[in-house]
A and B are shown apart, each in its own frame.
Chain A
Amino acid sequence: GAGVSQSPRYKVAKRGQDVALRCDPISGHVSLFWYQQALGQGPEFLTYFQNEAQLDKSGLPSDRFFAERPEGSVSTLKIQRTQQEDSAVYLCASSLQGLQRHQPQHFGDGTRLSIL
């Protein structure tokens, strides 16, 4: 079946512009996660949704970052007034169950964001 799909794959924006990154999780997956991965580092958690509810947004670096999943499937990560330090790969992952231990996460290929 189809995996997690993210778009766009690459995004270049000028400092100060707003960007929106999209994630289509695996159909039927309850949990959805966003991670930020800087070059040469492991992914760092941003936020977590169980269906449409955003249960954890403690990893969002500032109030310029906003995520939503209004119908419990597709999610959008929005970054307002982008800064150069926002340049990174943004990864989306989904898993089948909510609030369960012992589940693997299925990752998309990410959106590589470059802020000029």
Chain B
Amino acid sequence: SQQGEEDPQALSIQEGENATMNCSYKTSINNLQWYRQNSGRGLVHLILIRSNEREKHSGRLRVTLDTSKKSSSLLITASRAADTASYFCATDRGSTLGRLYFGRGTQLTVWP
């Protein structure tokens, strides 16, 4: 069963604009991860944020985590056409077995 719920399901913006995607989940977690998937390809890991962290940055990416609201957001600043992809959040539901529970993803389209 799906764990995270990303919104919006689809997002369409112009190059240079910022893109914000949200993720909600239902259980306790050790960490939350964001992945990107280009069409026809596998998932690429973007950022992992631990449950005791509130914000994390990596290049143009900024992830926040609010465990009290069981939600996370992914912000991509100054978007580029190459950022066009599906973005998924995934959690571990507090397990150490390693399996991830993914949401349905947000399809981001960045127009040049």
A interface, CB within 8 angstroms of B: 4, 6, 31, 33, 40-45, 48, 55-56, 59, 91, 93, 95, 98-110, 112
Contacts and interface: CB of A to CB of B under 8 A. Distances in A.
A43 B90 CA distance: 10
29 contacts: A33-B100, A41-B2, A42-B2, A42-B88, A42-B102, A42-B103, A43-B88, A43-B100, A44-B2, A45-B99, A45-B100, A48-B97, A56-B97, A56-B99, A93-B42, A93-B43, A99-B98, A101-B30, A102-B30, A102-B50, A103-B98, A104-B45, A105-B33, A105-B43, A105-B98, A109-B40, A109-B42, A110-B41, A112-B40
A48 B98 contact: yes
Contacts of B90: 42
Interface of B: 2, 4, 30-31, 33, 35, 40-45, 48, 50, 88, 90, 92, 96-105
A104 B101 contact: no
A40 B48 CA distance: 23
Contact of A41 (B97, B98, B99, B104): B104
Contact of B99 (A59, A101, A109): A59
Contact of A44 (B33, B44, B92, B102): B102
Given A41-B105, A100-B98, 11 more contacts: A41-B104, A42-B2, A42-B4, A43-B43, A43-B102, A48-B97, A56-B99, A105-B33, A108-B42, A109-B41, A109-B42
Nearest to B92: A101
Contacts of B102: 42-44
Most chain A CB inside 10 Å of its own CB: which residue of B30, B40, B42: B42
B96 A105 contact: no
B98 A40 contact: no
Most chain A CB inside 10 Å of its own CB: which residue of B30, B33, B102, B103: B102
A108 B42 CA distance: 5
Which 3 pairs show the lowest CB-CB distances between chains A and B?
A: A42-B102, A107-B42, A104-B45
A91 B43 contact: yes
Contacts of A43: 43, 88, 100, 102
A74 to B, nearest CB: 17
